[in-house]
Amino acid sequence: MTEIPSIQWFPGHMTKTKRMIKASLPLVDAVVEILDARIPESSRNPDLQSLIEGKPRIVVLNKCDTADESSTQKWAEYYRSQGLTVIAADCRSGKGLNKFASAVKSALASLIEKNKAKGMEGRVLHLMVVGIPNVGKSSFINRLAGQKKAKVEDRPGVTRTKQWVKLSDDMELLDMPGVLWPKFEDMSVGEKLAFTGAIKDDVVDVETLACRLLYVLNDLYRNELTARYKIQTEENEDGYELLQKVGKARGMLVSGGEVNTERAAITVLDEFRGGKLGRITLELPT
């Protein structure tokens, strides 16, 4: 097990988060789980299932603009085969969110049927949003709620502790995302979270991280890598060699002609996160 400094306060924080999610659960009909489409499993909280005790779940494969389209489809099929309702979305532009309402209705079909039988057709459906830091929970809520959010807050008598955002006449969202933690214990999970920027760079060494990313990209997306930096690479080439090549190709040299590897590393990470290398998914369903 690798020690990442930030996991030292993990247990206490986690307990508080779990308590908060549990306290809100009785108020909602379904849970919306936001995942990063580039690393769906790694950006998932492994405890969520037991935490939400069988509440219907809608999975949002977010940031799908940065992920490989065919891989996102595979992930969607995979989660659907587990009985989950799935949409792919880009919460920065709002693309894909038009499918959200119908996804909720399909996830809650049996509840809606029951309501209808009880003569409570059109009863408001309540939803809670959860996910690990940086997956786009706030972007998701803001995108869906948009202007409506301000209106709800302006209404007199609306409690400020539990903010409900009205999405439509029959759907409301809890305006307080549940922040969960990813599974840090697994080295490769931690690494992927660091690649995408979910773990802050101050807890990892940028050069080591960039070397690992380059190694992985050379394995999975060699064409994209060589095209972006106009370099030639070998199969299984050492990450540090790759970093040197990138730095050289970009003219990132210090006096004496050595490559400024720190600058090269920052560039690689920034460009990967900014989608400059293309649409990349770092893991596939097994």
x/- letters, 170..189, toward ligand GDP (CB under 6 A): --------------------
Residues 105 to 164 in contact with ligand GDP, rule: CB under 6 A: 131, 133-139
Among the residue ranges 58-66, 69-77, 164-172, 180-188, the one whose residues contact ligand GDP (CB under 6 A): 58-66
6 near ligand GDP, judged by CB under 6 A: no
Give the nearer residue to Mg ion in terms of CB position, either 138 or 208: 138
Inter-axis angle of helices 100-107 and 109-117, nearest 10: 70
CA distance linking residue 274 with residue 147, whole number of Å: 28
Give the nearer residue to ligand GDP in terms of CB position, either 71 or 218: 71
260 near ligand GDP, judged by CB under 6 A: no
Give the nearer residue to ligand GDP in terms of CB position, either 215 or 221: 221
Give the nearer residue to ligand GDP in terms of CB position, either 94 or 285: 94
22 near ligand GDP, judged by CB under 6 A: no
CA distance linking residue 51 with residue 46, whole number of Å: 10
Among the residue ranges 60-68, 165-173, 203-211, 278-286, the one whose residues contact ligand GDP (CB under 6 A): 60-68
Residues 62 to 91 in contact with ligand GDP, rule: CB under 6 A: 62-63, 65-66, 90-91
Give the nearer residue to ligand GDP in terms of CB position, either 115 or 139: 139
142 near Mg ion, judged by CB under 5 A: no
Size of the site for ligand GDP (CB under 6 A): 15
CA distance linking residue 181 with residue 197, whole number of Å: 14
Quote the least distance from Cβ 178 to Mg ion, whole Å.
Answer: 11
138 near Mg ion, judged by CB under 5 A: yes
Give the nearer residue to Mg ion in terms of CB position, either 198 or 209: 198
Which residues of the shown chain bind Mg ion in the complex (CB under 5 A)?
A: 137-138
Q: Give the footprint of ligand GDP on this chain (CB under 6 A).
A: 62-63, 65-66, 90-92, 131, 133-139
